[in-house]
Amino acid sequence: MSLQWTLVASFLYLEIAFLVLLLLPFISPTRWQKIFKSRLVTGMASYASLYFNVILVALVLLLLDAIREISKHKAKTGLEQNAMNMELVKEFRAQRNFYISGTALLLWFVLKRLMVFIQNSAQLIAENQAVKKQAESATRAANALIEESKKEDEDSKKDNVELEKELMKNQDEIKRLRKELEVSKLDLEAMKRQSEGVAKEYDNLLSEHGKLTRKLEQMEYQNQGETKKDN
């Protein structure tokens, strides 16, 4: 195997090893995302497009060369046995190189796609965790609001009970005051009637007093007249 195909085969083995490593279940996409964002990988990522295109072109050229070699060394009839064996060996090598370069090219696209998929998965996991944290925070806030609402309802019920008690007391007090007012009205009417009776009695007494005063004055006048006659 020539040097270039040895390098391609080594590159294929590295691709297979890296693919198996990416498919290991105990390495999460989040951890791969941290590795991809490390300083070393980030420094290499700036030239990732260049690396990808160069390797892609090299693999395509090697694949085309392998196809050319296959078509060149197809089994031919009418050759001697040794020449036929040499052609078969060359055809086998060309086919081997074709499979190596084709598989390496295919795995190159698979690895690139798989890395993009892992990065997207890590991003989705991070977003899912953020949404989960927001949901948990919203749930805690909602539970706190519910508890606060329940507490306010209980306080409101207590206040309503106290207000009802106070209202009952006020209603009882109003009833008592109304009764006292009725009694006061009755007492006032009785006193009014009594005062009217006293006023009438007073008027009668004044009238009697006036009559007695007039009689007394008449009697005094008569006594004075009789005294003058005796003199």
Say if 78 falls within a structural domain.
yes
d(CA 108, CA 8): 12
Say if 178 falls within a structural domain.
no
Say if 111 falls within a structural domain.
yes
Say if 162 falls within a structural domain.
no
Digit-by-digit pLDDT tens for the chain (231 residues) are: 677 778 888 888 888 898 888 888 888 878 877 877 777 666 666 676 677 788 788 888 888 888 887 777 665 555 566 766 777 777 788 888 888 888 888 888 888 888 888 888 888 888 888 888 888 888 888 888 888 888 887 877 887 788 888 888 888 888 888 888 888 888 878 877 887 777 787 777 778 878 888 887 777 777 776 666 655
Q: Which residues contact 162 (CB under 8 A, 6 or more apart)?
A: none
Cβ atoms 73, 87 nearer than 8 A: yes
Say if 34 falls within a structural domain.
yes
d(CA 108, CA 133): 38
Can you give the pLDDT at residue 80? Answer: 65
Range of the domain at 133: 3-143
Contacts 24+ apart (CB under 8 A), 1-9: 1/93, 4/62, 5/62, 5/97, 5/100, 8/59, 8/62, 8/97, 8/100, 8/101, 8/104, 9/100
Can you give the pLDDT at residue 192? Answer: 79
Say if 94 falls within a structural domain.
yes
Number of domains in the chain: 1
Can you give the pLDDT at residue 78? Answer: 56
Can you give the pLDDT at residue 148? Answer: 85
- Terminal-to-terminal C-alpha distance of the chain: 196
Say if 213 falls within a structural domain.
no
Can you give the pLDDT at residue 181? Answer: 84
Q: Could you give the residue ranges of the DSSP H alpha helices within 25-80?
A: 29-36, 39-45, 48-72
172-218 per-position pLDDT tens digit: 888 888 888 888 888 878 877 887 777 787 777 778 878 888 887 77
